[in-house]
Structure 1
Amino acid sequence: MPSDLPLPVLPAVTHGPSEFDATKARKRRTVILRRFFRHRLAVASLAVFLLVVAFGFLGPLFWTVAVDDTRSPGYLPPSPAHPLGTIQAGNDMLAQLIRGTRLSVQIAVVVAVGSTVVGVVLGALAGYLRGFVDGAISRFTDLMLIIPQIAVAAILVRALDGSWYMVAVILAAFGWMQVARITRGETMSLAQREFVEAARAAGAGTRWIIFRHLVPNMVGSITVNATLAVATAVLSETALSFIGLGVQSPDTSLGLIISENYSQITLRPWLFWGPFVVIVLLSLAVNFIGDGLRDAFDPRQTKVRA
């Protein structure tokens, strides 16, 4: 048999880049979820947060008393007809609390998303481009930090219509600076890593490097800061509404409910402690969720804290 016959060439079996990337993404999501669900306090906090959100958004399906119904006498004590009594105008307190919770959660989510997006984009641009861009963004950030944020936000809300979405936009406009500073520092560190140099050598543009390589490597810190922004937004909105410069009637919020009923803390404590407990639960829950997400996203984490 001749030995110089050419050997048959078999086609190579390869996986497309999209299939390989999808497999890696699924594996990473699985690891992250496993780490998060091993963090018992974070899981319990997630359950509390979901219950509060369900109370605000699904409550009207089960408690059908109209929030603007004033046919009942004012300051009724808790009863089967009004589990949390009525406020001075005769409105059902439970209906008020459901609506206030829903609007406070909406404000917190809008503020968290808006401030995080603005902070990440500006911080990443400053940390990666350096030079003039870094100087301009850093000086603008310093300027925003020295402005008395609550005072200016109160003036702007009062000058505008005081609706919940306007309060959310104004709070987001004054809540991105810390995120920008943290993102800038992490970007400056990551920009010196080998994978960024390789992407730059391969001809990748600035936008691709920032949003495809740098931002995904900062997901842990971004997530933690976003959850902290939720808690900060809840407390900031409460402070503004408590002094009468936040959400205005006919809208309502947890802070506005406390503002209208804090004088009844001794005579009718249920009018005060209801919204107060919801605010505390929201703030604590999102902070503990942030702890769990930070541990889940951190690739250097070797032991999940309970």
Structure 2
Amino acid sequence: MLTAGSPGGGAPVTKVSEFDSTKARKQSTLIRQRFFRHKLAVASLVVFLLIVAFGLLGPLFWTISVEDASGGRYESPSGQHPLGTNQIGKDMLAQLMRGTRLSVQIALVVAVVATTVGVTLGALAGYLRGYVDTAISRFIDLLLIIPQIAVAAILVNALSGSWYVVALVLASFGWMSIARISRGETLSLSQREFIEAATASGASTRWVIFRHLVPNMIGSITVNATLAVALAVLSEAALSFIGLGVQIPDTSLGLIINENYSQITGRPWLFWGPFVIIVLLSLAVNFIGDGLRDAFDPRQTKVRA
């Protein structure tokens, strides 16, 4: 800071250095700035939010109920039915809204459950090591060789095809890769001084994992959670397409495709509507994950204009 006297003998003029005007920025601010510089990730976030709004808020504004079967069988798109009607006269736009909502619900439940289980078991294996690490790692290896879609289809069919059953079954197979990544990061972090200090001070295993390890893995946890959403969307669509996922009277994007794939040449709007939403959801979530990965990358220490 430089001070110089006024030519007229008045009060001194103060000049502030440009370095003094720079404000310290929090890590969360840097992460947010990095993410919003990733134009494709931001555009994908907008697309994802629009799809979610379509499924959640669309029925509030659309006048035709999803249960209304008063339309004619396989009506063509019109002002009253923009996507036509299905084989029993139900409005396809209303069906698409409900299917989108249930598919997003399933994907989010899968992501939350799979991430929670995967991070917890991975952190336990990496921190405790020894027989705990061996038991968890061998259990993951065993599950990875099982044909997951086939077993998931059997379980869903046996337990009924409610959307929450589909979500829990898919989550039971979606945590393994997250656990492996969390284990690797925990093995690295457990060698750091702050973990050794917490252990030496007598902190419990739960305290070390959830107060020290997990907060320092938040970047990879967030990225893997977004990727779990995309995988769940595709897995649910695959199960419902073969008729072993969500069952009527519920519906989902995969079930709508299953009911209308035979109409792809004669009435393509019945097939392409849910198909496009599945593709957009998967791409959007993957690009959001790419943006988050770049944002959380600790090697990016500068904020470029």
- SS of match in other structure, 2:26: helix
Take 2:192 and 2:299, find their aligned partners in 1: how far apart are those partners?
A: 16
Superposed counterparts of 1:164-203, under 5 Å: 164-203=163-202
Take 1:224 and 1:215, find their aligned partners in 2: how far apart are those partners?
A: 14
- SS of match in other structure, 1:245: coil
Take 1:161 and 1:223, find their aligned partners in 2: how far apart are those partners?
A: 31
Instruction: Tell me, yes or no, if the aligned pair for 2:106 and 2:164 is still in contact at 8 Å.
Output: yes
Q: Which residue of 1 aligns with 2:232?
A: 233
Q: Which residue of 2 aligns with 1:146?
A: 145
Instruction: Tell me, yes or no, if the aligned pair for 2:30 and 2:303 is still in contact at 8 Å.
Output: no
Instruction: Tell me, yes or no, if the aligned pair for 2:126 and 2:184 is still in contact at 8 Å.
Output: yes
Take 1:78 and 1:123, find their aligned partners in 2: how far apart are those partners?
A: 51
Q: Deviations over 1:145-181 (max 9, x none)?
A: 1111111110111111210011000000111101111
Take 2:211 and 2:155, find their aligned partners in 1: how far apart are those partners?
A: 37
Take 1:87 and 1:303, find their aligned partners in 2: how far apart are those partners?
A: 54
Offset at residue 69 of structure 1 (A) = 1.0
Q: Which residue of 1 aligns with 2:49?
A: 50
Q: Which residue of 2 aligns with 1:17?
A: none
Superposed counterparts of 1:104-123, under 5 Å: 104-123=103-122
Take 2:161 and 2:303, find their aligned partners in 1: how far apart are those partners?
A: 43
Q: Which residue of 1 aligns with 2:133?
A: 134
Q: Which amino acid aligns with 1:91?
A: K
Q: Deviations over 1:256-282 (max 9, x none)?
A: 000000000010000000000000110
Q: Which residue of 1 aligns with 2:209?
A: 210
Q: Between Structure 1 and Structure 2, how many residues are aligned?
A: 282
- SS of match in other structure, 2:89: coil
Take 1:71 and 1:132, find their aligned partners in 2: how far apart are those partners?
A: 63
- Range that drifts further, 237-246 or 186-195: 186-195
Take 1:84 and 1:293, find their aligned partners in 2: how far apart are those partners?
A: 35
- SS of match in other structure, 1:114: helix
Offset at residue 203 of structure 1 (A) = 2.5
Take 1:208 and 1:129, find their aligned partners in 2: how far apart are those partners?
A: 13
Pair 284,153 (structure 1): closer, same or farther in 2 beyond 3 Å: same
Q: Which residue of 2 aligns with 1:63?
A: 62
Matched, 1:156 2:130: no
Take 2:28 and 2:106, find their aligned partners in 1: how far apart are those partners?
A: 28
TM-score, normalised relative to structure 1: 0.89
Q: Which residue of 2 aligns with 1:9?
A: none
Offset at residue 64 of structure 1 (A) = 2.0
Take 1:85 and 1:153, find their aligned partners in 2: how far apart are those partners?
A: 33
Q: Deviations over 1:34-88 (max 9, x none)?
A: 2211111111110000000000000011112011111111111100000000011
- SS of match in other structure, 2:86: coil
Unaligned runs of 5+ in 1: 1-23
Q: Which residue of 1 aligns with 2:12?
A: none
Offset at residue 304 of structure 1 (A) = 7.6
Q: Which residue of 2 aligns with 1:27?
A: 26
Q: Which residue of 1 aligns with 2:83?
A: 84
Take 2:303 and 2:64, find their aligned partners in 1: how far apart are those partners?
A: 45
Runs of 4 or more above 3 Å deviation: 302-305
- Range that drifts further, 217-226 or 86-95: 217-226
Offset at residue 303 of structure 1 (A) = 6.3
Q: Which amino acid aligns with 2:254?
A: G
RMSD, aligned CA? 1.6
Take 1:44 and 1:302, find their aligned partners in 2: how far apart are those partners?
A: 24
Unaligned runs of 5+ in 2: 1-23
- SS of match in other structure, 1:71: coil
Q: Which amino acid aligns with 1:66?
A: S
Q: Which residue of 2 aligns with 1:245?
A: 244
- Range that drifts further, 29-38 or 185-194: 29-38
Take 1:45 and 1:301, find their aligned partners in 2: how far apart are those partners?
A: 22
TM-score, normalised relative to structure 2: 0.89
Q: Which amino acid aligns with 1:201?
A: A
Take 2:123 and 2:30, find their aligned partners in 1: how far apart are those partners?
A: 26
Offset at residue 29 of structure 1 (A) = 2.0
Q: Which residue of 2 aligns with 1:3?
A: none
Offset at residue 182 of structure 1 (A) = 0.9
Take 2:141 and 2:210, find their aligned partners in 1: how far apart are those partners?
A: 25
Percent identity, aligned pairs only?
79
Take 2:291 and 2:112, find their aligned partners in 1: how far apart are those partners?
A: 19
Take 2:201 and 2:298, find their aligned partners in 1: how far apart are those partners?
A: 26
